[in-house]
């Protein structure tokens, strides 16, 4: 559950960079996503027509503070987004490094604390750092969104061990892999590891066929989750025969 919403789909989809509004609408439909993200800056560029398109999708809209580089800027943007979209949900981004777009953990926690106190339901874009995660939960966040790798890089899950540690450390907190997913196989891997959802944008929007790619990611997320629930076999250091020796013919 993500605050008070329990979607069937575990794929969250971003709405930027699509070649046309029609392609965006078709991609959202093909993805099966029930939660879509949009930045206030993007909404401002598209105006009421873009907002109508998003609302027509029937999805829950998750405004984000993309492009903010300070706690104050992110807080102000979140409050503006609440006015525009009529929701207390916000994907909180406070960027601290221009090249990697890594979040600023100090400003992130500061902004999260104030927004949670102001009634927002915060989805913080963070790293896999456990201490930062704890501070965000203490601030009032009931969801954490660690990056897989830098935004738009397509590198997938760069630090799997650290992400697995985060999953184990926060067993009761919904965790969403946000950023860096470039292929359906990477999304499936995140779900196999026990994450609750995957959020992506560029991998679909910039694909040769965004609608087909959205459909591919939908299948990958579903299959990865099914594999996790079924119970993956553990890795072994040595080969183990699948056919038992008992009952084999004795050749003399």
Q: Number of folded domains in the chain?
A: 1
CATH number at residue 171: 3.20.20.70
Per-residue pLDDT at 247: 63
CA distance 3 to 223: 24
Q: What is the mean pLDDT of the chain?
A: 92
Q: Stretch 219-236: mean pLDDT, rounded?
A: 93
Q: 62-86 pLDDT, tens per residue?
A: 999 998 999 999 999 999 999 988 9
Q: Was 202 annotated as part of a binding site?
A: yes
- The answer to whether residue 142 sits within a structural domain is yes
Q: Was 182 annotated as part of a binding site?
A: no
Confidence category of residue 153, pLDDT binned at 50, 70, 90: very high
Q: Was 201 annotated as part of a binding site?
A: yes
Residue 43 has pLDDT above 70, yes or no: no
User: CB-based contacts of 175: which residues, under 8 Å, 6+ apart?
Assistant: 143, 144, 145, 146, 166, 167, 195, 196
Per-residue pLDDT at 46: 55
Per annotation, catalytic residue among 10, 82, 91, 135: 91
Q: Stretch 14-32: mean pLDDT, rounded?
A: 94
Q: Was 179 annotated as part of a binding site?
A: yes
Per-residue pLDDT at 55: 84
Region of poorest pLDDT, from 50-59, 99-108, 195-204, 220-229: 50-59
Query: Catalytic annotation on 91?
Result: yes
Question: Would you say 107 and 94 are in contact if contact means Cβ atoms under 8 Å apart?
Answer: yes
For 217, the domain range is: 11-230
Per-residue pLDDT at 177: 97
pTM for the full predicted model: 0.90
Q: Stretch 92-113: mean pLDDT, rounded?
A: 93
DSSP, res 249: P
- The answer to whether residue 157 sits within a structural domain is yes
What is the SS3 assignment for 153-215? CCCCCCCHHHHHHHHHHCCCCCEEEECCCCCHHHHHHHHHCCCCEEEECHHHHCCCCHHHHHH
Q: Was 156 annotated as part of a binding site?
A: no
CA distance 91 to 93: 6
- The answer to whether residue 183 sits within a structural domain is yes
Q: 178-214 pLDDT, tens per residue?
A: 999 999 999 999 999 999 999 999 999 999 999 999 9
Nearest to 143 by CA among 218, 196, 79: 196
- The answer to whether residue 47 sits within a structural domain is yes
CA distance 51 to 42: 10
CA distance 156 to 52: 32
Nearest to 157 by CA among 121, 115, 127, 118: 127
Nearest to 38 by CA among 143, 123, 136: 123
Per-residue pLDDT at 225: 97
């Amino acid at each position: 559950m993500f605050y008070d919403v329990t979607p069937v789909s575990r794929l969250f989809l971003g709405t930027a960079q699509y070649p046309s509004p029609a392609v965006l609408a078709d991609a959202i439909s093909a993805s099966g996503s029930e939660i879509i993200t949009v930045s206030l800056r993007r909404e401002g560029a598209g105006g009421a027509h873009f907002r109508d398109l998003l609302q027509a999708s029937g999805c829950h809209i998750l405004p984000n503070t993309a492009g903010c580089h300070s706690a104050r800027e992110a807080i102000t943007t979140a409050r503006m987004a609440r006015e525009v979209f009529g929701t207390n949900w916000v994907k909180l981004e406070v960027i601290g490094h221009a090249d990697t777009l890594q979040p600023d953990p100090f400003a992130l926690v500061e902004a999260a604390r104030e927004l949670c106190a102001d009634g927002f339901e915060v989805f913080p874009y963070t790293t896999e750092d456990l201490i930062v995660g704890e501070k965000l939960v203490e601030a009032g966040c009931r969801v954490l969104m660690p990056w897989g790798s830098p935004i738009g890089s397509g590198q997938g899950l760069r630090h799997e061990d650290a992400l697995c540690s985060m999953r184990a450390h926060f067993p009761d907190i919904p965790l969403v892999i946000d950023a860096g997913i470039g292929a359906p196989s990477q999304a499936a891997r995140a779900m196999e590891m026990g994450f609750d959802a995957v959020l992506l944008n560029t991998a679909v929007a910039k694909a040769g066929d965004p609608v087909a790619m959205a459909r591919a990611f939908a299948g990958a997320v579903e299959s990865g989750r099914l594999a996790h629930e079924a119970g993956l076999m553990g890795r072994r250091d040595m080969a183990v025969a699948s056919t038992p020796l008992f009952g084999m013919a004795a050749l003399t």
